[in-house]
Amino acid sequence: MTEIAELTGSDTLRLPAEVAARFRRSDRFMVWVEGDAMYLKRIAPRPVTDIVAEALVGEPMQPEEVSDIVHEVRRRRRSG
């Protein structure tokens, strides 16, 4: 599939509808340029279970840490 994207005046890259439909509005991408080629790679967020498992190793979690994790899970559910 070859499509054309357009850089708008507000420095926004407008993707063709067929390409944009493959992603969510909240997706984030790594961007790098090699010569005249630009590459985009979607960044997959770490699973919440990994974050919690890491937090359980070592010292007990502080209430603020638990709150941060809960807020992150809720944010992901809203955007997902």
Q: Which residue has the tokens 């967020």?
A: 45
Is 10 contained in some domain? yes
Is 1 contained in some domain? no
pLDDT score at 35: 94
At 33-63, the pLDDT tens digits run 999 999 999 988 777 777 777 767 777 778 8
Contacts of 45 (CB under 8 A, 6+ apart): 76
Together in a domain, 30 and 10: yes
Together in a domain, 53 and 37: no
Together in a domain, 53 and 35: no
d(CA 29, CA 44): 9
Confidence band for 80, pLDDT divided at 50, 70 and 90:
low
Question: What is the arithmetic mean of pLDDT over 60-79?
Answer: 84
> 3 and 19 in contact (C-beta within 8 Å)?
yes
Two structure tokens written together for 62: 């502080």
Together in a domain, 18 and 39: yes
% of residues, the chain, pLDDT over 70 = 98
Q: How many domains does the chain have?
A: 2
Question: In the predicted model, what is the mean pLDDT of the chain?
Answer: 84
Q: Which domain holds residue 58?
A: 48-79
Contacts of 34 (CB under 8 A, 6+ apart): none
